[in-house]
Amino acid sequence: MTPNGFLIFEDENFMDSTVAKMNALRKSGQFCDVRLQVCGHELMAHRAVLACCSPYLFEIFNSDVEAHGVSHVTFEDLNPEAVEVLLNYAYTAQLKADKELVKDVYSAAKRFKMERVKQICGDYLLSKMDSQNAISFRNFASSMGDGRLVAKVDAFIQDHLLDVSEQDDFLKLPRLKLEVMLEDNLTLPSNGKLYSKVLNWVQRCLWENGEQLEQLMEEVFAVRLCIPDLYYKSEVQTLYYSPDHKLVDGGLMIEGHSEVFGGEEDHLQFVQKKPVRESAQRQLSCSSSGSLSPSNQAANSSKLSGRRDWKYIASEKTTKNNYLCLAVLDGVLCVIFLHGRSSPQTSPSATPCLMKSLSFEVQPEESEEHPLSPMHYARSGLGTAALNGKLIAAGGYNREECLRTVECYDPTEDRWTFIAPMRTPRARFQMAVLMGQLFVVGGSNGHSDELNSGETYDPHTDEWIQVPELRTNRCNAGVCALNNKLYVVGGSDPCGQKGLKNCDAFDPVNKSWSNCASLNIRRHQAAVCELDGFMYAIGGAESWNCLNTVERYNPDNNTWTLVAPMNVARRGAAVAVHAGKLFVVGGFDGSRALRCVEVYDPSRNEWKMLGSMTSSRSNAGVAVLDESIYAVGGFDGNDFLNTVEVYNLEMDKWNDCASPEIPIAE
């Protein structure tokens, strides 16, 4: 009792008792008003509790003020066990996770914007870091965009580079092998300025000469021929370190037609190796002043590539004139191996001795096949289509964001290039070709649940322009071109949890939308395509339950009819039309991403299983190029993919390597 008569009592056990009871209610599903669907696992909770702990979920719940009953939130790229750890933390303030689960808890905390948990998980990972796992930790920190974590890992690597270089993760990094010719009385400096020059040289290769970073990396594995006339034209890059501490292209110095561009002493003196390509020339001529400075050109190239990460991390002198460097080149963690040798003074054509590589420089055996070039970005929920003999991969999402970038794959060169990005970042959409142009409609931009916007790409102008908006926002809808119209089929409801029956058609001539017959079954994440004048809606999900049912639309009588069901229920599958049949690829069956593939023969109205892909892929893209089916991107249950594989119809086999006929891009 207090002198003024008020009763004051503090129950020290109340909070502990209350949170324990609330957590028990959560686990038993009592009074729960939110359901988290995580990779097929259902987790119940109370909206108010989660909103207090997660700004991300607060935003979702706050934007859903009119919702009644139980809210649904879906996560297809988080570990259910990790989300359960966060739920326990939200109710008990105790964070308990097995060491193998900490990275997944970090990823989930990043999505939920739980910064304190992110920091605790990051500090835990740092406490467990050693030479064996430093590279994998850095890759993880970089993928999470955690600058603090990256800086601390880099500091560790700087102090332990040689130990780190002996580990398996280090050996698997892409490597750039360079030789540096030295005057007899010179040695390479073992400091960061040398590698800054090397980084500048690689950058210039990319924007001045139109080189591809992957091509430079492939030169690590180039065979050095002991043939006098060919040696100085070898694929191994050779630089020249001059007495005045400049770094220039050594091969051209020997051949006698070098042209050195000036610059400050601390910057790379660049030797132009060959004429600027047409694409680079167009960039030069498009500036408002009629020319671009090297710095502006580099910035323009960096803008086009979508990456700005160029960083020297650490270097070591391993033996006499052998140097090892770890760096980030255009967003890729790489090893730069420098070997210095005396420059020939009298006989440039003398037969050289074959240099012995460092122990970690593994020289692979020659093979007739090489892996198909991956996309620059890992993408899931992307739009794909074949246009003018090339594969277009647009948008999609990864762990960080929805993408605007669009990549173009040329199968004859096995090379990806960028075309103009979309006006709006979007994922969970499909793309179709109509009247020689690409069309994308709806999807998600990563900030709001669904989009009603659409846009079209003209390959002649390399430009995206907006098309009239859908009548309703729609995500996870199927898109298909049929009879010179664009059809949008099904999709998610405004809450993103229930499939729609709605179907709409867009007329590109009068630029208007109209309704058409509704589906028989609600579907979102269905695969949609055209075959022989009919439109097919394949699989998908009604709410959470994956479907194996298939419907066919007849535009003549505006009706949908059920046809034979698939062997495997799946949503987020991709579909390609080839040889008069439908090929359905991958997807998600409610518990895991799928590798399996099946084909539908409309003449027999039957489905048959085919050879499985090399990787599991949900929400991937497919397209038919030159009588072959290509599958790109997707999510394999653990990682977002940038890889490509191709189906051989005769052998009923998928392969992630190019055939010997496909040349390595030069």
Residue ranges and CATH numbers for the domains of the chain are: 14-128 (3.30.710.10), 173-222+233-249+308-343 (no CATH), 375-658 (2.120.10.80)
* Residue-wise pLDDT tens digits, 208-238: 555 566 655 544 333 222 222 222 223 344 4
Q: What is the dihedral of CA 119, 124, 125, 126, to 10 degrees?
A: 90
Residue-level pLDDT at 367 = 45
The angle at the Cα of 544, spanning 543 to 546, to the nearest 5 degrees, equals 100
Q: Given pLDDT bands bounded at 50, 70 and 90, which one contains residue 169?
A: confident
What average pLDDT does range 69-86 have in this prediction? 86
> Which residue has better confidence, 223 or 638?
638
Whether residue 117 is predicted with pLDDT greater than 50 in this model: the reply is yes
Q: Given pLDDT bands bounded at 50, 70 and 90, which one contains residue 578?
A: very high
Mean of the per-residue pLDDT values for the chain? Answer: 77
Residue-level pLDDT at 647 = 95
Partners of 645 in the beta sheet?
631
Residue 162 structure tokens: 């040689």
Do 543 and 571 contact (CB within 8 A), yes or no?
Answer: no
Beta strand segments in 148-192, E: 175-182
Q: Could you give the strand order of the β-sheet that contains 628-632, starting from the edge strand earlier in sequence?
A: 621-625, 628-632, 644-648, 653-655
Residue-level pLDDT at 322 = 76
Question: How far apart (Å, rounded) are the C-alpha atoms in residues 342 and 615?
Answer: 47
Q: What share of the chain is helix, strand, coil (3-state, %, to 5)?
A: 25, 30, 45
Helix or strand holding residue 328 (H, E): strand 322-329
* Residue-wise pLDDT tens digits, 612-627: 999 999 999 999 998 8
Q: What is the DSSP letter of 355?
A: P
Whether residue 364 is predicted with pLDDT greater than 60 in this model: the reply is no
Residue-level pLDDT at 307 = 41
Whether residue 552 is predicted with pLDDT greater than 80 in this model: the reply is yes
Residue-level pLDDT at 360 = 39
What average pLDDT does range 136-153 have in this prediction? 89
